[in-house]
Amino acid sequence: MGMNFLHQLCCRSAYWERHSATNIVPWSLDGLELGDNTLEVGPGYGANVTALRARSAALTGLEIDPELAARLREKRAGRLRVVDGDGTAMPMGDSEFSAVVCFTMLHHVPTPEQQDDLFAEAFRVLRPGGAFAGSDGIDRLPFRLMHLGDTYNPIPPATLPARLARAGFTDIAVETGTGIFRFNAHRPVS
């Protein structure tokens, strides 16, 4: 999914990695256990790898951009398994992961239908009882300006519970913060 040059600079910066590791990931995953095998959809430049590895024994990153996937393999070798692929058609087995997460990337999925496909795929690859969690930005002027020239399709947080329920999730929670929202949902055990 496309990102403009300034957005790319921000996402690969040490500042963003610190901010994500100390603010976004802890807030988004507060109270959730990821289990032993976590999938991050859209890891991009890998800002969340260290924070996620501290919470899960195994981490896989599913990255649609081949250049970013190659960069992750080089820069984060041994920290995560990198799989080239699209979150709307995940090349993973059913019930493979204890948790699926994604952070500030859903707005880069081009259409609401493709976002719903990603939700359905997250449900499919989760084990029963597993959590789907993450965060994304709220559509506000500063967020829009940062995304000029990007693929930009923000999700209104109020619509997310119904969309996740259609994918099969239960125990859905969505909470807004300053310019960002977090969500978590679970695949039912039975």
45/7: higher pLDDT: 45
3 versus 110: the higher-pLDDT residue is 110
- If one compares 126 and 153, the residue with the highest pLDDT of the two is 126
DSSP string, 127-178: EEEEEEEEEEE---HHHHHHTTTS---PPPGGGHHHHHHHHT-EEEEEEE-S
Q: What is the pLDDT of residues 101-116, one digit of tens each?
A: 999 999 999 999 999 9
Give per-residue pLDDT as tens, 132-172.
999 999 988 777 777 777 788 899 999 999 999 999 999 99
pLDDT above 70 for 1: no
Give the β-pairing of 180-186 and 170-176.
antiparallel
Q: Please, are residues 136 and 151 in contact by the beta-carbon 8 Å criterion?
A: no
pLDDT of 140 = 82
Which pLDDT belongs to residue 111?
96
Question: Could you give the CA distance from residue 1 to residue 190 in angstroms, rounded to a whole number?
Answer: 35
- Give the span between the Cα atoms of 158 and 179, in whole angstroms: 14
Give yes or no for residue 17 having a pLDDT over 80: no
Length of the chain (residues):
190
Which SS3 state, helix, strand or coil, does residue 55 take?
coil
Nearest 5 degrees, angle CA 140-CA 62-CA 172?
55
Across residues 170-187, what is the average pLDDT? 96
**Mean pLDDT computed over every residue of the chain:** 92
Nearest CA to 135 out of 32, 62, 59 is that of 32
pLDDT recorded at residue 69? 96
Q: In this structure, what are the phi and psi dihedrals at residue 81, rounded to the nearest 5 degrees?
A: -90, 130
Structure tokens at 154: 């923000």
Q: Hey, is 105 helix, strand or coil?
A: coil
- Evaluated on CA atoms 44, 152, 20, 11, the torsion sign reads positive
- pLDDT at 76 exceeding the cut of 70: yes
Q: What is the reported pLDDT for 7? A: 63
Residues 29-50 have a mean pLDDT of 95
